Amino acid sequence: MVRVLWAVFPAVVLFFHGTGFALEESALARKPRHGGVYVVAHRGVHDGIPENTLAAYRRAIELGADFVEVDLRETKDGHIVSIHNSTVDAYTKDHQGPVKGFTLAELRAMDIGSRVGPEWADERIPTFEEILDLCRGRIGIYLDLKSAPVSKLLDMVCARGMEKEVLWYAGPAQLREVAEKCPECVIMPDPGPEGLLPRVLEMFRPRVVASTWKHFSESFAKTCHEAGAMVIVDDGGPETWADMLAWGVDGIQTDHVAGLITLLQQRAEEMPACDTEAASLTP
């Protein structure tokens, strides 16, 4: 996730009016599948599968996750690909250097799967267009904007009618551009420390707020819900789930997708029917 310095973002943005204002049933394309809490597969399901690959995203779909987290960067020749790090050094033994220094063809020629297992030798860095086509109508996208032009991404999302299937996680200026150019798109600011949360809620009036286990609390969730926003949190491992659920989290981003889904299903089975229905409408 990107750490955003909201405290130093120009105060002039405070006049900006976002388009969310309050969570409506139509704010997202889908309701959570498991016990009223969204499951976000961090970099796809990459337990034994190369992260940020179509294989990892397919596995998330198979398991029944609600969203896949996708890290996006631009190539030398202007294509958008999914890769977390700014360089390829950690993904292949054959090349080193920044993602921006390679063309799409050069990146596609790299073996990024063998580091995980020989069966993944043919797995390649996917383009954003491939990811959109794979996920459309099957699973939502948690878009983590690392380094790519907003306008290009919007063109791809809107051309497929996926405005409500994509959550936008980015810096203040980028989120502002998204909201101005695509009123139906769902921006998701991350204030960092809870003390900055009121400022972020005032700046963007978002439908969804992002956070991490480090900054999340019961009061954080309450403040978001009172403002009409859901909160999706990057967990600190399975040991943090019980507290997050007790505090009213609306979605959890995790590396442990299967385990979280199992827990949520068990929780739903133990919950009275009326409470289950209420949970699906959170907040």
Question: How many other C-beta atoms are found inside a 10 Å radius of the C-beta of residue 159?
Answer: 10
**Residue 115: pLDDT over 60:** yes
H or E segment to which residue 241 belongs: helix 241-247
Give the max Cα distance, the chain. Answer: 56
Nearest alpha carbon to residue 224 among 246, 185, 250: 250
pLDDT tens, position by position, 40-99: 999 999 999 999 999 999 999 999 999 999 999 999 999 999 999 999 999 998 899 999
Is 79 in contact with 90 (CB distance < 8 Å)? no
91: amino acid identity, one letter: Y
Q: Which residue has the higher pLDDT, 155 or 10?
A: 155
Kindly report the length of the chain: 283
**Residue 266: pLDDT over 70:** yes
Nearest alpha carbon to residue 236 among 210, 215, 262: 215
Q: What is the CATH number of domain 20-279?
A: 3.20.20.190
Query: pTM for the full model?
Result: 0.89
Question: How many other C-beta atoms are found inside a 10 Å radius of the C-beta of residue 5?
Answer: 10
CA atoms within 13 A on the CB side of 79: 19
pLDDT tens, position by position, 89-109: 999 988 999 999 999 999 999
Question: How many other C-beta atoms are found inside a 10 Å radius of the C-beta of residue 64?
Answer: 14
Lowest-pLDDT range of 5-19, 36-50, 113-127, 144-158: 5-19
Query: Would you state the pLDDT for residue 23?
Result: 40
Query: Would you state the pLDDT for residue 43?
Result: 98
Rounded Cα–Cα distance for residues 187 and 170 (Å): 8
Query: Would you state the pLDDT for residue 10?
Result: 45
pLDDT tens, position by position, 199-226: 999 999 999 999 999 999 999 999 999 9
CA separation, residue 235 to residues 51, 212, 231 (Å): 17, 6, 12
Rounded Cα–Cα distance for residues 60 and 51 (Å): 11
Provide the mean pLDDT of the chain.
90
> Given pLDDT bands bounded at 50, 70 and 90, which one contains residue 5?
low
Query: Would you state the pLDDT for residue 236?
Result: 98
Domain boundaries, the chain: 20-279
Backbone φ, ψ for residue 232 (5° rounding):
-115, 125
